[in-house]
Every structure is written in C-alpha cells, then in structure tokens.
C-alpha cells in the first residue's frame, strides 16, 4: 500500500486534474468575455434575459464548477472511479465553505487517498464486491472526507483563501508593481516546464476565486519570451550585430507563431544554446510585462488563447503596452549581453549540410 501511494504522489494527480479542468476554464472564460463584450450581465432569472446575458451567466456557472472539477479529477487520478463522486462532493463542500480552489484541491486529495485506502484494505464478502466501486467506497469516502473537510480543515482553508484574496485586492499601486514584477519574473523561468506550473496554478486558483489580474500576467507573460527573441532578431539585423546562428533564426521563425498562440516552449531550442543570458533576458522582460499589466488593472477571465483573448481582457490597451514593453526589454537585454557572432559561426546550417554530404561509400577496411 505504501509503495502504491508513493507511486501516486500529489503532483501527478494535480496535473491530471488540471488537464481535465482547462477546457472548462477556457470555455467558461470565453463565454463570460463574449457575453460582457456584447453587453451581457450575470442574471439570476429568465425574465428579460438576452443572449449576451445567457452567455455570461453560463460562463459564471462554469467558473462555479472549478472547485468541484479540480477535486473530482484529483480524486479520480488517485483512486480511479471510486474516488470520482466523493471528490466532486468535496469540491461542493469547498464551495459551500468558501474555501474555493485551494479547498477543492485539498478536498480532492483527501477523498482520493481515503478511497485508495479503502480500495486496498477494505475486505467484503464476495457477494458485495460488485458494490465496492459504485456504492461502498464512494459512500464511506464521502462520509470520512466530508467530516474532515467540514469540521477540521474547511474553516482554516476558507480563512487562508479569504486572507489571500484580501491581500491581493488590498495592494496599493506601488505594491501592485512589485507583485506583478515578481510574479512575471518567476512565471516562465523554464518556458512552460515544472517551475512554471507552480505560479501558473496559483494564478488559475486566484481566477477561480474571482481575482483575474494574475491570470492576465500569466497569459501575457507566456508571449513575452517568443516575442522578445523575435524582436531581438529584427533589431540585431537593423543594428548589424548578429547574435543568432542560422539554426536559431529558423527556431525563431517557429517560436513566434507559437507565441501568438501562448506556447512558450518554442523558445527552448534557442535558450539551450545560451541558457543563462536568455533566461535573464526573458525573465526580466516577463517581470516588466507583469509589473505594468498588474499595476494598470489588466485582467483576464480566460486562462489561455494568447493574442486571441487580449481583446476580451480588461484594459486591453494596457495589455498590449505591457506585452510590447516586456518584449522590448527582452530584446534589448539580449542585444546587450549576447556576444556578436563571427561570420564563420553564423552559418551552422551550411556546415551541417556539408557534413551530411560527405561520401564515405568508398571507405573499406581490410
């Protein structure tokens, strides 16, 4: 049992749940954005409801499901089908207690591991084995996890969530600049890797609790590295200071359209050739973008989509300013700290081609 629980862990179930959660978040966020852009409001009755009102209201319903979704699919990833129902119930408990996204995560972990323990250790007569996954385990799990959430952990989690919300909403202008700077700096240090997933998850959790500024920093910041290296390439050619090899130029051509779609990973092949300098440049560019966007009240109700969701953001003009400023900072720093390449260092693709065309067919060994 211990080895099985060690193998399951916490990280893998959380990432699995996020993969299930993202389509709901994207769809709900877009519905709210489209509804708001067309004059819709969240309403509580059918009388006088318009199509924009319906879109906004449905999107709000979807956002309200986030604690249940994250809890349900975390429990499902841990204990499979027996954990799914009690996991969703713990998400509902988290919503009822005001524990939000964080409460849903913790409730899902509790439900999942309680169900896993029961599945492993609980022995029943042979005639009741068929009832285990659909009745016995879900019911006992819901009781045990529910008692823990309601009477033990729910209050402290709700208080922590409330304190975090009050802290973020209570920041003054200078504090917002610093907070946005720090969030932007750490958010894409490894271009979508394991380090990036932690602050991104925090932003998603804040969005689920109605705080949309960090989500805008996440969306805009993901585009800064690819846009920054692209702008650096353009400026390097204008200033006649070559800093990219031919293979890196080809990578930039791929990274830019990926960046438009909010895919940061296109920068990885470029960064790997000069990791320290590239990370410094992109992190400071992201930090600049985050400081401007967060301090100027840019918000996003959609967690992904890149440039396609910028028009739906709050203060989209400042979003574009933040994005351009961050990209420009990245480009300028790259131009300043990267060493100019010698002519023979630039055409690495031509060198590779010549090496591939070497004919070794005449070689023989006696």
The total number of structural domains that make up the chain: 2
Residue 299 lies in a domain: yes
Whether 97 and 234 map to the same domain: the answer is no
Whether 143 and 60 map to the same domain: the answer is yes
Is residue 327 a contact partner of residue 309, using CB atoms and an 8 Å limit?
no
Whether 161 and 185 map to the same domain: the answer is no
Residue 84 lies in a domain: yes
Residue 20 lies in a domain: yes
Whether 97 and 190 map to the same domain: the answer is no
Residue 9 lies in a domain: yes
Whether 82 and 226 map to the same domain: the answer is no
Whether 145 and 253 map to the same domain: the answer is no
Whether 237 and 260 map to the same domain: the answer is yes
User: Which two structure tokens, joined as six digits, stand for 315?
Assistant: 């203060």
Q: What is the pLDDT of residue 6?
A: 47
Whether 36 and 179 map to the same domain: the answer is no
Q: What is the pLDDT of residue 308?
A: 86
- Only one residue has tokens 């390097």, namely 236
Residue 112 lies in a domain: yes
Is residue 317 a contact partner of residue 220, using CB atoms and an 8 Å limit?
no
Whether 34 and 148 map to the same domain: the answer is yes
Is residue 252 a contact partner of residue 334, using CB atoms and an 8 Å limit?
no
Least Cα distance to 303 among 17, 13, 23 occurs for 23
Whether 181 and 156 map to the same domain: the answer is no
User: Domain range for residue 144?
Assistant: 2-169
Q: What is the pLDDT of residue 365?
A: 45
Q: What is the pLDDT of residue 364?
A: 52
Whether 128 and 164 map to the same domain: the answer is yes
Tell me which of 139, 169, 199 is where a domain ends: 169
3-state SS, the chain, equals CHHHHHHHCCHHHHHHHHHHHHHHHHHHHHHHHHHHHCCCCCCCCCCCCCHHHHHHHHHHHHHHCHHHHHHHHHHHHHHCHHHHHHHHHHHHHHHHHCCHHHHHHHHHHHHHHHHHHHHHHCCCCHHHHHHHHHHHHHHHHHHHHHHHHHHHHHHHHHHHHHHHHHHHHCCCHHHHHHHHHHHHHHHCCCCCCHHHHHHHHHHHHHHHCCCCHHHHHHHHHHHHHHHHHHHHHHHHHHCCCCCCCHHHHHHHHHHHHHHHCCCHHHHHHHHCCCHHHHHHHHHHHHHHHHHHHHHCCCECCCCCCHHHHHHHCECHHHHHHHHHHHHHHHHHHHHHHCCCCCHHHHCHHHHHHHHHCCCCCCCCCC
Q: What is the pLDDT of residue 358?
A: 46
Residue 124 lies in a domain: yes
Q: What is the pLDDT of residue 47?
A: 84
Report the C-alpha gap between 99 and 161 in whole angstroms: 6
Tell me which of 141, 169, 197 is where a domain ends: 169
pLDDT in tens, the chain (366 residues): 444 554 567 878 988 888 888 888 888 888 888 888 888 888 888 888 899 999 989 988 988 898 999 999 999 999 999 999 999 999 999 989 888 888 999 999 999 999 999 998 988 888 888 889 889 999 999 999 999 999 999 889 888 888 877 888 788 888 889 989 998 998 888 887 767 777 887 787 788 777 889 999 999 999 999 999 999 999 999 998 999 988 888 889 999 999 998 888 889 888 888 889 999 999 999 999 999 999 999 999 888 788 988 988 999 999 999 999 999 999 999 999 998 888 777 776 664 444 445 454 554 544
Count of Cβ atoms closer than 10 Å to residue 326 Cβ: 29
Tell me which of 140, 169, 198 is where a domain ends: 169
pTM of whole model > 0.85? no
Whether 31 and 134 map to the same domain: the answer is yes
């Amino acid at each position: 049992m211990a080895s099985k629980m060690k193998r399951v862990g916490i990280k893998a179930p959380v990432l699995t749940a996020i993969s299930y959660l993202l389509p709901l978040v994207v769809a709900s966020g877009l519905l709210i954005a489209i509804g708001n852009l067309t004059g819709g409001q969240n309403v509580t009755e059918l009388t006088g409801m318009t199509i924009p009102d319906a879109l906004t209201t449905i999107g709000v319903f979807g956002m309200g499901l986030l604690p249940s979704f994250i809890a349900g699919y975390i429990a499902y990833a841990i204990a499979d089908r027996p954990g799914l129902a009690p996991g969703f119930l713990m998400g509902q408990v988290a919503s009822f207690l005001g524990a939000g996204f964080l409460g849903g995560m913790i409730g899902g972990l509790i439900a999942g591991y309680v169900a896993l323990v029961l599945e492993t250790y609980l022995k029943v007569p042979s005639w009741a084995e068929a009832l285990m996954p659909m009745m016995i385990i879900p019911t006992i799990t819901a009781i045990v996890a529910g008692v823990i959430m309601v009477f033990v952990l729910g209050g402290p989690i709700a208080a922590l969530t409330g304190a975090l919300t009050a802290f973020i909403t209570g920041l003054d202008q200078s504090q917002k600049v610093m907070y946005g700077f720090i969030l932007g700096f750490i958010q894409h240090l490894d271009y979508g890797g394991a380090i990036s997933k932690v602050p991104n998850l925090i932003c998603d959790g804040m969005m689920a609790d109605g705080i949309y500024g960090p989500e805008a920093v996440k969306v805009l910041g993901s585009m800064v590295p690819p846009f920054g290296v692209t702008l650096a390439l353009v400026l390097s050619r204008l200033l006649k200071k070559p800093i990219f090899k031919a293979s890196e130029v080809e990578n930039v051509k791929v990274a830019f359209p990926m960046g438009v779609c909010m895919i940061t990973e296109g920068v990885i092949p470029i960064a790997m050739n000069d990791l320290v300098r590239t990370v410094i440049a992109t992190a400071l560019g992201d930090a600049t973008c985050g400081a401007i966007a967060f301090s100027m009240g840019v918000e996003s109700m959609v967690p992904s989509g890149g440039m396609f969701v910028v028009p739906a953001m709050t203060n989209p003009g400042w979003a574009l300013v933040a994005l351009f400023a961050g990209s420009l900072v990245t480009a300028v720093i790259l131009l300043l700290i990267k060493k100019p390449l010698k002519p023979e260092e630039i055409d690495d693709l031509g060198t590779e081609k010549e090496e591939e065309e070497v004919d070794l067919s005449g070689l023989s060994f006696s």
